A and B are shown apart, each in its own frame.
Chain A
Amino acid sequence: MTPEEIFDKLKEKFGEGKILRLTLPSQNGFDVCDPFIDVEPLAMTELADFLKHDKDLAFDQCCCISGVDLKDDLQVVYHLFSMSKLHKICIKATAKRDNPIVGTTAHTWGVANWLERETWDMFGIKFKDHPDHRRILLEEDWEGFPLRKDYKFPRFWRGMEVTPEEEEGTYGTQD
């Protein structure tokens, strides 16, 4: 199916309130991009279920879930692929920065469990109804979410120097 057909099908099923818009390459200010669909973040759970189990869509493989810090908002990007139908689509769910909550897809794709935990670890995006909502890479007592753009490197962690004194202030800044 082409991205347009997928978009129409989703819109027909869920309505305009949940499926926001479709962006094709060289639209909406992008020079290069894969076709993507913006959706309502909390609708993600039922949407994922539909995307996987619908006969025409059959997105059985969840390639990648990435978080992106858009400065005002936080975004979760899903790259989906169908091995039986050989089509792909990118889904984006944008959540508010002060309370980012996205519906989980861990019940649909097994791999989404860990990928969502990683997104929580790095960006602090909460996933509603996630079965195992813990940090995955960093220790539980780590403060802050490292891949947010406004992250300040800690000076110490458990008594070990994270930022050596002579370098303080230059860390995490761009040259």
Chain B
Amino acid sequence: MEHKIETDFMIINMGPQHPSTHGVLRLELKTDGEIVMACRPFLGYLHRCFEKHCESLDYLKIIPFTDRMDYLASMNNNWAFCIAIEKLMGIKVSEKCEYLRVIVGELNRIASHIIAFGTFGLDIGAFTPFLLAFIQREKIFDLLEEASGARMLYNYIWVGGVARDVDGDWLKKTKKFCQEFKPALDEVDELLSLNKIFVERTANVGVVTKEMAISYGFTGPNLRGSGVNWDLRKNEPYSLYTKFDFNIPVGAGEQGQVGDCWDRYIIRIRECRESIKIIEQALEGISLEGDIYETVPKNFNKMPKGEVYARSETPRGEMGIYVVSEGGKAPVPYRVKVRSPAFCSLSILEEICKGVMISDVIAILGSVDIVLGEVDR
């Protein structure tokens, strides 16, 4: 870009207290007028020492801390951690528990995507979709509260099982919710997706190419937004995901280039529909007979010596848990490392924020959908 009028460079600090940084992220923007010349992110304002806690607490006590890592999708975090420990201990979880995990996991995925596109709209300047979406989110919370006992941080999925059983009534309510949710989502979709202002603000903004996306560790909806057909639920199936029939929405550059903010946004809307499909199939398949505590280990005295890296698909992408166990009677893990999807996705910011307008930084940040609790851990 060629400038005829010379302006002074200005350093602007965005955050850590800023309504559209989705938490406590600080960006140092070097600007030339309205154009961002360089962007340096500063993290760590929510570093809560998760990995240090893991080295001091035993396996079951860690699960509540995983809740607080990515607080928008606690179920999926619980699940990711439990998958790692189950892989380490060689536990096969009973089918009923797997069904329950799929249902609550997908419900939580929808709740998380609602926050993602609700607040994204809010950042761009659309307030109504946010309010409409939150009505549905409260309904999901009612369901999850009835199942687990908590509104937001559930501690529901345990190693080898789930914490509490559900009854037929709950299944009926969930089914009713699925039916009600579809038209409500369509309403938000119609209101926001093809809105002229919204499209102008997001299409062709923050384009991430396929190669860049893979190199910078994009996963989940962000990676699919860049046109890569990759979903761990399909490509590396865990739990019962082979049983269900669902599609993987992939960005195609309908409003602009492949991998722009609009693509990343629309993936989330479409994924909600796929999640509903999965839940409906799971509700058909689940049988209420059987003990949920059947495969829950009595104690953790016989941990094998070794290490595992287990990954699963959370709403923000691939969450990998690397656990090192000393074996024997050691009640605590030797080391737990979380590969957090939001942390990896955020690292691209420095790269794609060069030469964009200041207002586009907001759009890019909103479309990447970060949760600072997970970035800083």
Q: Are A and B close enough to touch in the complex, i.e. CB under 8 Å?
A: yes
Which residue on chain A has the smallest CB distance to residue B311? A63
A54 located at the interface, meaning its Cβ lies under 8 Å from any Cβ of chain B in the complex: no
Q: Which residues of B contact A137 (CB under 8 A)?
A: 43-44, 47, 376
Q: Assuming the A-B contacts A83-B230, A109-B217, A110-B212, are A64 and B309 also in contact, with contact meaning beta carbons closer than 8 angstroms in the complex?
A: yes
Whether A111 sits at the interface, judged by CB under 8 Å, is: yes
Of B49, B230, B337, B347, which is within 8 A of A114 by CB?
Answer: B347
Q: In chain A, residues 142-175, which have Cβ atoms closer than 8 Å to a Cβ of chain B?
A: 146-147, 149, 172-175
List residues 315-348 of chain B with CB under 8 A from any CB of chain A. 318, 320, 322, 324, 327, 332, 334-335, 337, 339, 343-344, 346-348
Flag if A114 contacts B324 (CB, 8 Å). no
* Across-interface contacts of B322 in A (CB, < 8 A): 64, 66, 77, 79
A110 to B214, CA, bound (A): 9
In residues 218-242 of chain B, which contact A (Cβ within 8 Å)? 228, 230
Complex contacts, A109 vs chain B, CB 8 Å:
215-217
Contacts of B215 in A (CB 8 A): 60, 109-111
Residues on B with beta carbons closer than 8 Å to the beta carbon of A136 = 43-44
> What's the interface size class on B, roughly?
35 or more
B residues in contact with A49, CB < 8 Å: none
What residue in chain A is nearest B44 (Cβ atoms)?
A: A137
Question: How far, in whole Å, are A175 and B376 apart by their CA atoms in the complex?
Answer: 25
Say yes or no: is A34 at the interface (Cβ < 8 Å to chain B): yes
CB atoms of A175 and B43 under 8 A apart: no
A58 to chain B, nearest CB (A): 11
Q: Contact partner of A110 among B217, B337, B339, CB < 8 A?
A: B217
Query: Which residues between 326 and 377 of chain B lie within 8 Å of chain A, taking CB atoms?
Result: 327, 332, 334-335, 337, 339, 343-344, 346-348, 351, 376
Which chain B residues border A60 with CB–CB below 8 Å? 214-215
Closest chain A residue to B217, Cβ basis: A111
Q: For A174, give the chain B residue with the smallest CB separation.
A: B56
Which A68-122 residues have a C-beta within 8 angstroms of B? 68-69, 77, 79, 83, 90, 109-111, 113-115, 118, 122
A-B contact pairs, 14 of them (CB 8 A): A25-B306, A31-B306, A32-B307, A61-B217, A62-B217, A63-B309, A83-B228, A90-B309, A111-B215, A111-B344, A111-B347, A114-B343, A136-B43, A146-B49
Known: A34-B309, A77-B337, A111-B215. 12 other contacts (CB 8 A): A31-B304, A31-B327, A33-B307, A60-B214, A63-B309, A63-B339, A79-B339, A109-B217, A110-B215, A110-B351, A172-B52, A175-B56
